[in-house]
């Protein structure tokens, strides 16, 4: 497969959680920052290779083969992110673009040895699960911080938004994975929160709490 085809499969995989009945070409165009006509051409090509199931006006879904290919790319991407952070000292907001390039390396032996070298990590630096060599994801009972109520608390285990801007905001406010976050106050009007973080109080918006994953038990 081409690099572009792999990127499309990965994008469809991520969008399928929000589009159970099929990912629309418009949604895929927005995700890929391209025109709907270009998406249609690519989807047809992927369909010819039996990587997706596509019917006009009904959206696109990954086939079993397509899902396997997408998960393989995601696995490589997340393993490389772990390597960059743990072994090369990259910050978590620096690794995405580099991993985007490394994820297309074809050597199965390299990825197998990389996984072993990293001691078979289960999650990437952003808290996302790393599928195993069989394509299986670890089950997680995480929830969004925004869904917690006053007086509740949980451990920060991941981010929904992994953009550079959001990760830098978290660093600036000393919010990191593994920290205990307690809800001190929650505004009814705008759902903003006052949280306790390592003994310090911090006011965060609903946008922030909607992009932090928490594990409560």
pLDDT digits (tens, 9 = 90+) for 83-132: 999 999 999 999 999 999 999 999 999 999 999 999 999 999 999 999 99
Q: Are strands 153-159 and 212-215 parallel, antiparallel or unpaired?
A: antiparallel
pLDDT digits (tens, 9 = 90+) for 157-214: 999 999 999 999 999 999 999 999 999 999 999 999 999 998 999 999 999 999 999 9
Map out the domains of the chain with their CATH numbers: 3-62 (1.10.10.10), 75-139 (1.10.10.10), 143-215 (2.30.30.90)
Distance CA 206, CA 186 (A): 10
Q: Nearest 5°: phi and psi at 143? A: -145, 165
Q: What's the pTM?
A: 0.88
3-state SS, one letter per residue, for 137-170: CCCCCCEEHHHCCCCCEEEEEEECCCCHHHHHHH
Rounded CA gap, 198 and 214, in Å? 15
């Amino acid at each position: 497969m081409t690099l572009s085809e792999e990127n499309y499969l990965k994008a469809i995989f991520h969008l399928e959680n929000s589009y159970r009945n099929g990912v629309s070409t418009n949604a895929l165009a927005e995700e890929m920052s391209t025109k709907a006509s270009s998406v249609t051409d690519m989807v047809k090509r992927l369909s010819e290779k039996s990587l997706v199931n596509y019917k006009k006006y009904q959206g696109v879904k990954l086939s079993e083969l397509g899902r396997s290919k997408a998960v393989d790319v995601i696995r490589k991407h997340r393993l490389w992110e772990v390597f960059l952070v743990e072994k090369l000292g990259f910050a978590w907001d620096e690794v995405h673009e580099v991993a985007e390039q490394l994820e297309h390396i074809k050597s199965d032996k390299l990825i197998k040895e990389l996984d072993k070298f990293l001691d078979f990590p289960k999650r990437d630096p952003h808290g996302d699960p790393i599928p195993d060599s069989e394509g299986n994801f670890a089950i997680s009972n995480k929830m969004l911080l925004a869904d917690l109520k006053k007086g509740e608390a949980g451990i920060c285990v991941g981010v929904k938004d992994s953009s550079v801007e959001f990760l830098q905001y978290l660093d600036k406010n000393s919010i990191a994975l593994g920290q205990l976050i307690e809800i001190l106050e929650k505004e009814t009007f705008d759902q903003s929160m006052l949280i306790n973080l390592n003994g310090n109080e911090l006011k965060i918006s609903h946008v922030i709490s909607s992009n932090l994953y928490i594990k409560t038990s």
